[in-house]
Amino acid sequence: MAKTEQTPSAKRLADYTPPAFTIKTVNLNIILEPAETLVTNTMKVVRVGEHSGALELDGESLTLESIQVNGRALAAQEFNCSESSLSVFTELNEFELTVVTKINPEKNTSLEGLYLSDGAYCTQCEAEGFRRITYFMDRPDVLATYTTRIEADKGFTYLLSNGNKVGQGELSNGKHFAEWHDPHPKPCYLFALVAGDFDLLEDSYTTAEGRNVALQLFVDRGNSHRGEFALEALKRSMAWDEQRFGLCYDLDIYMVVAVDFFNMGAMENKGLNVFNSKYVLAEPKSATDTDYHNIEAVIGHEYFHNWTGNRVTCRDWFQLSLKEGLTVFRDQEFSADMGSAAVNRLQNVRIIQTQQFAEDAGPMAHPIRPSEVIEMNNFYTVTVYNKGSEVIRMIHTLLGEQGFRKGMDLYFQRHDGQAVTCDDFVLAMQDATGVDLSQFKRWYSQSGTPELYITDDYDAGKGVYRLHVKQHTPATSDQREKLPQHIPLKVALYDPEGSELDISNSAAKENGVLHVTEFEQTFEFESISQKPLPALLLNFSAPVRCSYPYIDDQRAFLVSHAKDAFVKWDAMQALYADTVFKAEQSSTKPVVSETLANAFRDVLNDKELDKAIIAEILAVPAISTLVEKQHFTDIHALIDARDGLVTGIGEIHRDLIQSEYNNLQTGDYAYEAKDVALRALKACLLNFISATSGAENLNLVDSYNASDNMTEKLSMLAAANHWQLSERDTLLSMFEKTWRQDALVMDKWLSIQALSPKESAIQEIKAIFEHPVFSFTNPNRVRALIGTFAAANYRAFHNLDGTGYQLLADVVIKMNSINPQVAARIITPLTQWKRFDEKRQALMKEELTRIVNLDDLAKDLYEVVNKSLAQ
């Protein structure tokens, strides 16, 4: 954005107006050439209502070749073409409009619209990428049926688009073509085209309605053995959605294409998903348990969009959470059913407590339904997605599983084939069950993290126990005034022996849920014979911060007696965090109290607990989590204190940890819950051992060679790197030797080095820019190295000489012209300057100012940097 040009302006939800025209059918003829692709787009356009306004189409980076209405070329005064729009002046109410444009996929490094990914053509149209392919009403409430003809050199073996293939053939000029028709009306953001040479994996699935669906997975040549897990996960997703929600697939073919150049995880284009290869390709020696988990989750997520997103879509982009929050909820439920519900829950809670709380406390704070947007791509956030899912989860809690299902059924019955709003969704939930969600709806419009302050008292004479709950949502950067939210607060009470009390005839009679709806409320529990200890926010029943004046012994009591995994985990996390903060504030080594040491020992010795949960409970909170608790003053002292705590625990329980570690043996690698849990605990214990002098006896190089899987190898690398063990460089070069030809796997190698605690980290990261595997045009590489560095290497990023901030800013400036969407994402840690000390604040703002003064600042960065500086 040249400073002389207009500054980007915000769109507002309040300004929504229905489309003045609608487009019924779209007929595309696309002749693919790397530098000059020709797109002929013939549309049936219908005026909506009585007006005489022009037809306004969006367009970006397009060269207009010709324009016709009903077969007649328009004269100059009959249309107007600007940088970003095409206006057609006509009095006709129904007409056929043909627009021919030229585009340049080869030069398209933004990876929006049509681009080349390592020699294959592919598209990304959400949110507003279709306007880079042809002129169109690029908004989700214009639904059309699409017919697409693709023509390309025969080297592009597969020519794919949405729907069913209706024609194909050879052409005289060494080219071939294919024609596709999608019978389901859809918004243009769901359009997709792929042309390339791939390995194809095929399978089929018969739906509960008896439809036989061909499943096709396209991967880079030579990678078919890495695609099998994703294909199996797809079949599991299809079966799960039938069982849980009664939803069947609705076309005869479902295609998934894995590409290497992709801005995010994957895209749910109708019948033709395009995936970042990171979320498709896996084999034990190259992928970790986490990779397998993510593949299943993302495959599920995109598949579930077919109903929540595609069949029922969004009226406008402010409603993004309508499809994303709901679909994340669905994929989380799917993952929970496929593996351990409790472990999945803890992992999702951690995302909310670290990343989402940080977003709500920072310059980009927004409600799950934002009301103002400059660049839509900036709003594919943890708030819209993950907090959005928590909001759906709370509705599920308020309605119960049966009520929720009734609500979903009504939602589809009412809105199938429509573009609707979050209000429509909530209304369906309410109408189906009679549950009043009027106050609850505030979660859609109010940003910020509510804080609950809970105290209690006990009247021994009457046998009455009371919980006093205050709620307060601090002002956020986008909103000052906050109203009370409807918060489902799930509680349990424990007697001193550790037994759970029956509270079914109290205010918490529905599954232990208290309805917190006011700024201050008191809840009574009767017939309580002695003062109980409360367990609060069971299963993280709402995305809030919750405090109660527990003493350490009470926390330890909850760690061992609470039934709820979240409560156990949260209590242990609090014991850890307090210890770290005490050490940080007094600049001393952390003191591991007997209470903490015993709690650790008891959890590790607990034979009833799932090993994956033990690993979650015992892991000391990450710096990103501690930073969110906002008690620290000096980030480097905080890091030292945290590391010191790991070492302290490691020393105290040295023999126990070592012997448990030695006992954890798996056979040949299998991605199965039992083995995953074992490996997770092993990695957790390895970290404690590595923090002590016991590291000397680890023989990591031998263990690394002996292991048959990436999960273990990577945990060894991570430990060796973090604790600067003598094996670190050897392991890194062994890894490089094995994988240097495989960029996707090398991302792990990049990330390990991005996390280097060495003094020389920044120099070493800069040197990696020259490594053959690194490239600024591939988002996965940039995220693996720079994204990881800025978001997770707190030590080097916050170097007091400012070199960490400079490094990030240099990369962001480069990415501003290559790929602004990625630039606006990796810059996040710099925009959150406000929580650091003054000296660092000044250095961070200096870099932000350097960025905001760029001559060609993209609007993605314009929005986030200006908001950050305005704090």
Residues 6+ apart with CB under 8 A from 326: 308, 388, 389, 392, 425
Between 386 and 687, name the residue whose CB sits nearer to Zn ion: 386
Between 250 and 324, name the residue whose CB sits nearer to ligand B3K: 324
Binding site partner of 380, from Zn ion, ligand B3K, none, Cβ cut-off 5-8 A by kind: ligand B3K
Phi (first) and psi of residue 25, to 5 degrees = -130, 150
- What is the longest distance spanned by two Cα atoms in the chain? 96
Name the strand (E) or helix (H) holding 47: strand 37-47
Between 330 and 783, name the residue whose CB sits nearer to Zn ion: 330
Phi (first) and psi of residue 99, to 5 degrees = -120, 130
Cα separation values, 666 from 549, 612, 714, 719, 773, Å: 42, 14, 16, 20, 33
Binding site partner of 283, from Zn ion, ligand B3K, none, Cβ cut-off 5-8 A by kind: none
Cα angle vertex 86, ends 89, 179, to 5°? 105
Pattern 379-398, binding to ligand B3K, x per CB under 6 A?
Answer: -x------------------
Buried b or exposed e, range 57-74, using 16+ CB within 10 angstroms: bbbbbbeeeebebeeeeb
472: β partners: 451
Buried b or exposed e, range 255-281, using 16+ CB within 10 angstroms: bbbbbbbbbbebbbbbbbbbbbbbbbb
> Closest separation between CB of residue 376 and ligand B3K, Å?
7
How many amino acids of this chain bind ligand B3K (CB under 6 A)?
Answer: 12
Residue of 267, 272, 678, 843 interacting with ligand B3K (CB under 6 A): 267
Between 126 and 456, name the residue whose CB sits nearer to ligand B3K: 126
Tokens of 546: 């919750």
Report how far residue 570's alpha carbon sits from residue 670's, in angstroms, rounded to the nearest whole number: 30
- Contact flag: residue 268 with ligand B3K (CB under 6 A): yes
> Closest separation between CB of residue 266 and ligand B3K, Å?
6
Residue of 60, 138, 324, 360 interacting with ligand B3K (CB under 6 A): 324
Between 278 and 301, name the residue whose CB sits nearer to ligand B3K: 301
Q: Nearest CA to 314 among 268, 249, 374? A: 268
* Residues in region 265-284 near Zn ion by CB under 5 A: none
- Contact flag: residue 264 with ligand B3K (CB under 6 A): yes
Residue of 30, 116, 127, 217 interacting with ligand B3K (CB under 6 A): 127
Pattern 294-333, binding to Zn ion, x per CB under 5 A?
Answer: ------------------------------x--x------
> What is the residue whose two structure tokens read 């030069």?
107
> Closest separation between CB of residue 625 and ligand B3K, Å?
25
Binding site partner of 264, from Zn ion, ligand B3K, none, Cβ cut-off 5-8 A by kind: ligand B3K
Between 301 and 798, name the residue whose CB sits nearer to ligand B3K: 301
Identify whether the C-beta of residue 212 lies closer than 8 Å to the C-beta of residue 444.
no
Between 384 and 755, name the residue whose CB sits nearer to ligand B3K: 384
- Contact flag: residue 301 with ligand B3K (CB under 6 A): yes
How many amino acids of this chain bind Zn ion (CB under 5 A)?
Answer: 2
Q: Is 215 helix (H, G, I), strand (E, B) or coil?
A: strand
> Closest separation between CB of residue 324 and Zn ion, Å?
5
Q: Nearest CA to 186 among 244, 92, 250? A: 250
Between strands 164-170 and 158-161, the pairing is: unpaired
- Contact flag: residue 131 with ligand B3K (CB under 6 A): no
Identify whether the C-beta of residue 835 lies closer than 8 Å to the C-beta of residue 798.
no
Catalytic-labelled residue, pool 151, 268, 296, 302: 302
Tokens of 464: 């009455």
> Closest separation between CB of residue 389 and Zn ion, Å?
10
> Closest separation between CB of residue 303 and Zn ion, Å?
11
Tokens of 100: 């021919």
> Closest separation between CB of residue 857 and ligand B3K, Å?
19
Point out which span in 172-180, 261-269, 579-587, 764-772 binds ligand B3K (CB under 6 A). Answer: 261-269
Cα separation values, 573 from 130, 162, 349, 583, 603, Å: 46, 47, 13, 16, 13
Residue of 241, 291, 302, 847 interacting with ligand B3K (CB under 6 A): 302
Dihedral in degrees, nearest 10, Cα atoms 286, 290, 296, 298: -100
* Residues in region 349-378 near ligand B3K by CB under 6 A: 377
Q: What's CA 354's distance to the chain center, in Å?
A: 13
Is 302 designated active site? yes
> Closest separation between CB of residue 129 and ligand B3K, Å?
8
> Closest separation between CB of residue 328 and Zn ion, Å?
7
> Closest separation between CB of residue 301 and Zn ion, Å?
5
Point out which span in 133-141, 299-307, 623-631, 701-709 binds ligand B3K (CB under 6 A). Answer: 299-307
395-404, Cβ contacts within 8 angstroms, sequence gap of 24 or more: 395/426, 395/429, 395/437, 395/440, 396/329, 397/488, 397/490, 397/511, 397/513, 397/541, 398/435, 398/437, 398/440, 398/488, 398/513, 399/429, 399/433, 399/435, 403/429, 403/432, 403/433, 403/435, 404/429
Quickly list DSSP for 722-773. HTT-TTHHHHHHHHHHHHTT-HHHHHHHHHHHHT--STTHHHHHHHHTTSTT
Binding site partner of 267, from Zn ion, ligand B3K, none, Cβ cut-off 5-8 A by kind: ligand B3K
136: β partners: 58
Q: Is 733 exposed, middle or buried (0-12, 13-18, 19+ CB in 10 A)?
A: exposed
- Contact flag: residue 126 with ligand B3K (CB under 6 A): yes
- Contact flag: residue 860 with ligand B3K (CB under 6 A): no
Between 267 and 680, name the residue whose CB sits nearer to ligand B3K: 267
Between 313 and 449, name the residue whose CB sits nearer to ligand B3K: 313
Q: Is 246 helix (H, G, I), strand (E, B) or coil?
A: coil
Point out which span in 274-282, 297-305, 347-355, 432-440 binds ligand B3K (CB under 6 A). Answer: 297-305
- Contact flag: residue 329 with ligand B3K (CB under 6 A): no
Binding site partner of 126, from ligand B3K, Zn ion, none, Cβ cut-off 5-8 A by kind: ligand B3K
Active-site residue list: 302
Binding positions for Zn ion, rule: CB under 5 A: 324, 327
Binding positions for ligand B3K, rule: CB under 6 A: 126-127, 264, 266-268, 301-302, 305, 324, 377, 380
